[in-house]
Amino acid sequence: MGKPKLHLPFGESTLLRTTVAAALAGGCCPVIVVGRSDDENLDELASGRIIVVRNKDPLRGMLSSLREGLALVRGEGFFFIPGDMPMVAATTYELLGGHFGAGPVIPTYSGRRGHPVLMPSSLIPALLALPQDLPLKVLIEASGPLFVETEDPGVLRDIDDPESYKASILALSAASPRA
Q: What would the pLDDT profile of 52-62 be if each residue is shown by its tens digit? A: 999 988 888 88
> What pLDDT does residue 109 have?
98
Give the Cα separation of 122 and 127 in Å (integer). 10
Residue 179 above 70 pLDDT?
A: no
* DSSP of 23-83: HHHTT--SEEEEEETT-GGGGGG-SSSEEEEEES-GGG-HHHHHHHHHTT--SSEEEE--T
How far from chain centre, in Å, is Cα 139? 18
How far from chain centre, in Å, is Cα 152? 14
Q: What is the pLDDT of residues 61-99, one digit of tens each?
A: 888 899 999 999 999 999 999 999 999 999 999 999 999
Of the listed ranges 11-20, 59-68, 107-116, 153-162, the least confidently predicted one is: 59-68
Q: Which of 82, 112, 73, 77 is nearest to 98 (CA)?
A: 77
> What pLDDT does residue 175 have?
78
Give the Cα separation of 82 and 136 in Å (integer). 14
Residue 111 above 70 pLDDT?
A: yes
> What pLDDT does residue 2 have?
66
> What pLDDT does residue 37 have?
85
How far from chain centre, in Å, is Cα 115? 6
| Cβ count near 140 (within 10 Å) | 18
Q: What is the pLDDT of residues 119-160, one digit of tens each?
A: 999 999 999 999 988 899 999 999 999 999 999 999 999 999
> What pLDDT does residue 177 have?
63
Q: What is the pLDDT of residues 21-61, one digit of tens each?
A: 999 999 999 999 999 888 888 888 989 899 999 998 888 88
Query: Which domains does the chain carry?
Result: 5-175 (3.90.550.10)
Q: Which helix (H) or strand (E) holds 121?
A: none
> What pLDDT does residue 121 have?
96
